[in-house]
Amino acid sequence: MIQILYRSRQKETLDKDVLNFLSSLNQDINILNYDILGTQAHCLMLNKIGILTSDELSKILSSLSKIKYESKNKGIIQNLPSNNELSLSEDIHELIESLVIQDLGIDIGGKMHTGRSRNDQVVLDIRMKVRDDVIDICELIIKFIKSLIEKSKEHTNTIISLYTHLQQAQIGTVSHYLLSYSFNLLRDLERLSYSFDKINLSPLGSCAIGGTAIPIDRNYTASLLGFQGLLENSIDATSSRDSMIEYLSCLSILMSTLSRIAEDFILWSTSEFNYIELSDKFSSTSSVMPQKKNPDPLEIIRSRTSIVIGMLLTSLSLVKNLPSGYHRDLQDLKPILFNSSTIVKESLLIMKGITDTFKVNKKNALHLANKSYGVSLDIAEQIVIKYNIPFRKVHKLIGTLVQHAVKNENIPLSQISKDDVNKILKFTHIKIDLDELMFILKDTTPEKSIFFRKSYGSPNPMQQKDMVKSIEKSLLVYCKLLSRRKELLSAALDNLEKVIILNTIGESKKNNGG
């Protein structure tokens, strides 16, 4: 049986198995530094309002800094002796408070939790962690988009078939495909960036659920920790997790984008498509078949997408029936958040690496485009433009030509004989100059077809250049926004560190005999 710091009412100590069941200590390594920062800011505020003397504050800040140093260099959680009661703390919050009390005694260390609760403490740590994750993931998205743009610039005129229903549809370019991913990722970036403002609000000082009689200064701690404002209602601040679930939703949508890109790359790297070849650095082999080159990293991204989506659904199920107020169920949201963030970061790094290194088999892609009937719509539209014939009539003509070509060993439309084209013209009752039609059939090649299309957003190289400019312009806006956010957070935490140092100088001098 182990005595737990927080158990005041209970007469009996907590059963060891129950304690192990309740403990989140292993997961809490992710928020250890954030918990220390939050505690330091809280103690500075307690000194400001007269709860802690300057001497007590100095001792607590020194003790917390020591814990932070030891954690960074030794792994404080991992290296706790198994016979040490602190190894069975319920969470990182209890562990840190216990370590300070063990270091300074309860008369000093026991004061640092005044005016707060684990309920506002844990959501503070989570919000600080997730806001950093949002910035990190946004930066990784931007790097991936830049990679796609650079690859697209190399392949503005590289012909490839566009697909609908997994059937060859129209002629496009590799660049057009890659830019489509970029626009999709821009929306993912926008969603995540928007979530930051709702996450970067401080809950500290809301306490357990109903605030405190202690004259705390919530705005002061929020400012020290770099928050742009407060979660005003103490019930909402401690028990709501909608902003975290919105974040998970953004991650799930982002992973769905990555999974779709991965699926394209997997198909394109097959022997049947052979549009691209993955770098050896980003592919695996078979244990028995020596010829294999498997797109394993891309397949793992598909599976990890399912995991992230599953964790989103778990988080929704976790909160959907909770009444107002904090409940221990919410503890299990922490690993969901941490694991989802990690998966997304890793997946973005892998996707960028694959994009940077894959090679495009231009000749094969062009060969397959020439074998396809992807120019059919382009031919139809050239006829419509030249003769002003109703599109539906031309649709029937070209469909009949394709049907004839398929029956004749899938020959290209340009190789249908003049006599056969004339017969089909008569069959469809369309009045077009036969020589003109033969010229259009032969002149409309995959390489030329992309230049015929001039509509906004089409694969026309000029349109692609405009798309690149549009994407780069958007990225510049987000880069500036991220830079500004990082500067504000860095300035706030640098200031916090300076204030901590300023308030621990006296203690350091005493310890050194000054």
Catalogue the active-site residues. 165, 286
Inter-axis angle of helices 418-428 and 391-407, nearest 10: 140
CA–CA gap between residue 327 and residue 214 (Å, rounded): 24
At 119, the amino acid letter reads: N
At residue 22, φ and ψ (nearest 5 deg) are -80, -25
- For residues 351 and 275, the answer to whether their CB atoms sit within 8 Å is no
In three-state secondary structure terms, 162 is strand
CA–CA gap between residue 206 and residue 212 (Å, rounded): 7
Inter-axis angle of helices 32-48 and 118-154, nearest 10: 130
In three-state secondary structure terms, 446 is helix
3-state percent helix, strand, coil for the chain, nearest multiple of 5: 70, 5, 25
H or E segment to which residue 183 belongs: helix 174-199
- 3-state SS of 86-149 is HHHCCCHHHHHHHHHHHHHCHHHHCCCCCCCCHHHHHHHHHHHHHHHHHHHHHHHHHHHHHHHH
The alpha carbon dihedral of 96, 97, 100, 101 has a sign of: negative
Identify which of 335, 339, 334, 336 has the alpha carbon closest to the alpha carbon of residue 118: 334
